[in-house]
């Protein structure tokens, strides 16, 4: 794509956010940092000001949706019986893998601690029937 006259001097990430409606600015910044966006064949920073006539190459890789893998993570188990497990989810721990957080999640820890985690919630969110924000501290009850 070529930068038009009315976008001269705009930050690269902001320019691309305005023309690539399906990508957030943070996704665009990640693409820039990972070398998927080039100006005249060269890597630049997200805050690089574009110039009229700049040639911008954008390569958006296919999304990766990996199956969650077991990870040995600290997981305080408060209660467990044949049907449920109650764990102390700390602040900062994402509940299930998603874009930007493919590991280090509660699901990864549960898969390590439980041999046969329930299919409730689907393959990507086994045992999980709710959505909690990363910053939430809670006692999470998960199906076994």
Q: In angstroms, rounded to a whole number, what is the distance separating the alpha carbons of residues 38 and 20?
A: 15
pLDDT band at 120; cut points 50, 70, 90: low
pLDDT score of 118: 65
Q: What is the mean pLDDT of residues 44-59?
A: 97
Contact between 137 and 91 under an 8 Å Cβ cutoff? The reply is yes
Is the model's pLDDT at 124 over the cut of 70? no
pLDDT score of 48: 97
Domain boundaries, the chain: 5-58, 77-143
Stated pTM of the model:
0.52
Q: In angstroms, rounded to a whole number, what is the distance separating the alpha carbons of residues 125 and 117?
A: 10
pLDDT score of 64: 64
Query: Which residues have CB under 8 Å from 44's CB, separation 6+?
Result: 12, 32, 38
Q: Where are the alpha helices (DSSP H) in 3-126?
A: 12-19, 25-33, 106-113
Task: Give the side-chain half-sphere CA count within 13 A for 78.
Answer: 10
Is the model's pLDDT at 114 over the cut of 60? yes
Catalytic residues: 133
Residue 87's SS3 state is strand
For the domain 5-58, what is the CATH superfamily, name and number?
RNA-binding S4 domain (3.10.290.10)
Q: What is the chain's mean pLDDT, rounded?
A: 86
Task: Give the side-chain half-sphere CA count within 13 A for 137.
Answer: 3
């Amino acid at each position: 794509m070529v930068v038009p006259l009315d976008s001269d001097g705009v930050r690269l990430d902001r320019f691309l956010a305005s023309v690539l409606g399906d990508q957030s600015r943070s996704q665009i910044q990640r693409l820039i940092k990972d070398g998927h966006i080039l100006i005249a064949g060269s890597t630049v920073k997200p805050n690089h000001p574009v110039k009229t006539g700049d040639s911008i190459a954008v390569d958006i890789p296919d999304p990766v949706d990996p199956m969650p893998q077991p990870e040995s993570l600290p997981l305080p188990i408060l209660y467990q019986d044949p049907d449920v497990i109650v764990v102390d989810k700390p602040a900062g721990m994402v509940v299930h893998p998603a874009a930007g957080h493919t590991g280090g999640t509660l699901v990864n820890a549960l898969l390590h601690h439980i041999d046969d985690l329930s299919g409730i919630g689907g393959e990507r969110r086994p045992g999980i029937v709710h959505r909690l924000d990363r910053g939430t501290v809670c006692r999470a009850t998960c199906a076994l």
